[in-house]
Structure 1
Amino acid sequence: MPVTVSPAVFEGFIRDIFEAVGVSAEDAAAAAPSFVWASLRGVDSHGVSRVPRYVEMFEKGVANPTPNLTVDDSAPAVSVIDADFAPGPVALTRAVEIAVAKAKTQGAAVVSVRNTVHTGAIGYYVSLVAEQGLVGVGIAAGSPMMSYEGAVGASVATSPLAIAVPGTGAKPPVVLDMASSLIAMGKIAQAKRTGTPLPEGSATTADGTPTTDPELAKVPTPLGGAKGSGLSLMFELLTSVLVAAPILTPYHGGQKKHRQNATLIVLDPAAFGGAEAFAEGVDATVDTIHDLPKADGVERILVPGERSAATAAGRSADGIPVGDKLWTELVEVAGSLGVTVPEVG
């Protein structure tokens, strides 16, 4: 029977697991909230279900539990972080701190992160930016998992894009978080766990045959065909090639080591005509969208992030639901590491 776990308890449980595999207390505390954030918002494919995968990456030497992050402040509004194969939440949380500080001084900032592993829910990082009244844009690239329009097999990454825009605080920030594929790999894994068929046209087998069976699905298809694969290619150029850390060319040349790169862009509305006027304008624009004529059968028109924010409100109060299979896996991982499993409902 599924269990429910309070966000605070889950965060502490994840911190304990990360520390048990050698991650510092500081880095574990930076990483844990990202998983809880995703699960709170119903993005379970990038939430606590990822914790066993991270443990596996640590144990196999794919992820570095004790990374030496280096920061090159190459220009007043630009930084490049070499993550030394740190977990994505550790490296990207640090990137947020740097980007926000620079943007508050310069009006805008770009921080690139190279050589990390699994970025996680990129919407989390831009949401951290929006919480401080700034605009956050995040993109990421990784190893090929998605087909490229006209090619067979895994050719490019399911590179995500996230944008968070704050308003006055009367409404949740507008948060767009999307992959360049029709379905993320994490959601395929989630479908396997639950036995749920995939949407038509969202994935293929390794040889390019379309399938809705999550057990057979190996390659997600690009969102909008050439549009999705084009976005993924451009994100590779902007997050990887730009900082001399290409992924696609070495990968297709036989170097298949797992790594990811990401870029955060942060804008301070105060530098573009005034933060207060901008926030009020965001709220007014959201109201305009809400008030549009509704199509038949539509009860409410939503803006990006609104449905997830409502889910987060409910799960914050009632706890995060966790299926039997995942909870058993988390308990087994904790047991193997000597971590105490919290009491749950």
Structure 2
Amino acid sequence: MTDPTPQQMHLINHSDLQAFVEAILLGNGTPPANAAIVAQCLVAADLRGVDTHGSNRIPSYMERIRQNALDARAQPTLRQVTPVAAQVDGRNGFGFVAAHTAMDAAIRMAREFGMGMVSVKHSNHFGMSAWVVRQALDAGMMSLVFTNSSPALPVWGGREKLMGVSPIACGAPSGDPRRPFILDMAPSVAARGKIYKALRRGEKIPEDWALDQDGARTDDPARALEGVMLPMGGPKGSALSIMMDVFSGGVLRGGVCGACDESPDLFMSMEEFQGRMDYLYKRVVESEKMAGVDRIYFPGEIEMITEEQRREKGIPFAASEIASLNQEADRVGIAHLKVQSSN
């Protein structure tokens, strides 16, 4: 049974964390440019409060390198299929690098033809989907990002691991870069990474997140990982997980993730599009509130606020998480992670 005793939390400066993660990656054979991409993406997740897809993933990634399950030195290759479609071969390297290459290509095609689509094959986990969406937003473009993942979710009415907890993400720019539309969600009640996070921190989970191996609801993350995740919205979540496999898995052909990018100025001017987005933002956040609600947030806004706070105050890590990261530092002979403060 998981120890429910909360661990002391420590705050880490985001710049120190990024340099630390990058050094570990370099020490494990990752080329400098690729190490910078991976470290930046992981810390971006930490800053947005998506701790399940942040720097705590480093020990598992490094273990995959040691087991020769991931090639840290691999460089993805791009094959142009049509003027608006391409495919990236990740060559079993970091998914972050393959996804970055794919979105770069999609952006390039969208600038010339109004839209671009790229699929990725032979790749690995690429962290928080929102960072790929952010890459398109920085170029002033809308985007859709799909990926499939290893089985962890039953189809509706079943209890065996059959579908992946595969996220869908999308984004659209607005006139104010501080409040773009960003949606990044999994078809399960909770992301599987949240269960791993609870296990690391000795915490229980809500009983509606997962079933144990006997098909019973559980609040123990260890037992939950032996069982299956539960889909959100019953059959709707199950159907979304199947859709992810259709669009980004073997059904469509090719790979671990697919990225589709569409330029917002294909059908109207950028200025008109941004104005419409700003209007939508105001309509959403200024709409009438239900009882007990103080504020309505636009998709992605809470994460933006969290990022502002964490840039200023630091990113929280449990003592056990810091110890795990420092073990990787010892393996490559670099200094331990610097703690900013504790609470």
- When normalised by structure 2's length, the TM-score is 0.93
Measure the CA separation in 2 of the matches of 1:313 and 1:16.
Answer: 25
Query: 1:327 is matched with which residue?
Result: 322
- Secondary structure of the 1:116 match is coil
Measure the CA separation in 2 of the matches of 1:31 and 1:171.
Answer: 23
Query: 2:240 is matched with which residue?
Result: 231
Measure the CA separation in 2 of the matches of 1:166 and 1:270.
Answer: 11
One-letter amino acid of the counterpart of residue 234, structure 2: G
One-letter amino acid of the counterpart of residue 104, structure 1: R
Structure 1 residues not aligned, in runs of 5+:
246-259
Give the Å deviation of 1:170. Answer: 5.5
Query: 1:23 is matched with which residue?
Result: 30
Measure the CA separation in 2 of the matches of 1:153 and 1:41.
Answer: 33
Alignment of 1:2-41 (within 5 A): 2-41=9-48
1:243–1:65 Cα change, 3 Å: farther
Contact 1:140 1:235 in 2 (8 A): yes
Percent sequence identity over matched residues?
A: 29
Q: CA RMSD in A?
A: 1.4
Give the Å deviation of 1:154. Answer: 1.2
Query: 1:83 and 2:90 equivalent?
Result: yes
Query: 1:299 and 2:294 equivalent?
Result: yes
Pick the aligned partner of 2:308 from 286, 309, 313: 313
Measure the CA separation in 1 of the matches of 2:177 and 2:240.
Answer: 33
One-letter amino acid of the counterpart of residue 300, structure 2: G
Give the Å deviation of 1:285. Answer: 0.5
Query: 2:4 is matched with which residue?
Result: none
Pick the aligned partner of 1:63 from 56, 63, 70: 70
Measure the CA separation in 2 of the matches of 1:176 and 1:7.
Answer: 23
Query: 2:108 is matched with which residue?
Result: 101
Measure the CA separation in 1 of the matches of 2:251 and 2:101.
Answer: 20
Alignment of 1:269-284 (within 5 A): 269-284=264-279
Measure the CA separation in 1 of the matches of 2:43 and 2:204.
Answer: 26
Query: 1:50 and 2:45 equivalent?
Result: no
Query: 1:338 is matched with which residue?
Result: 333
Pick the aligned partner of 2:280 from 281, 285, 299: 285
Query: 1:201 and 2:208 equivalent?
Result: yes
Query: 1:250 is matched with which residue?
Result: none
Measure the CA separation in 2 of the matches of 1:134 and 1:165.
Answer: 6
Query: 1:121 is matched with which residue?
Result: 128
Contact 2:178 2:304 in 1 (8 A): no
Contact 2:211 2:217 in 1 (8 A): yes
Deviations 1:80-117 (A, max 9, x none): 11111111111111111111111111111111111211
Measure the CA separation in 2 of the matches of 1:278 and 1:142.
Answer: 33
Structure 1 window deviating more from structure 2 (5-14 vs 278-287): it is 5-14
- Secondary structure of the 1:272 match is coil
Give the Å deviation of 1:342. Answer: 4.3
Measure the CA separation in 2 of the matches of 1:233 and 1:243.
Answer: 12
One-letter amino acid of the counterpart of residue 310, structure 1: I
- Secondary structure of the 1:270 match is coil
One-letter amino acid of the counterpart of residue 297, structure 2: L
User: Size of the alignment, in residue pairs?
Assistant: 331
Give the Å deviation of 1:242. Answer: 4.6
Measure the CA separation in 1 of the matches of 2:19 and 2:75.
Answer: 24
Contact 2:76 2:97 in 1 (8 A): no
Q: Runs (4+) of structure 1 moved beyond 4 Å?
A: none
Query: 1:179 and 2:186 equivalent?
Result: yes
Structure 2 residues not aligned, in runs of 5+:
1-7
- When normalised by structure 1's length, the TM-score is 0.92
One-letter amino acid of the counterpart of residue 92, structure 1: A
Measure the CA separation in 2 of the matches of 1:170 and 1:33.
Answer: 19
Pick the aligned partner of 1:166 from 163, 173, 191: 173
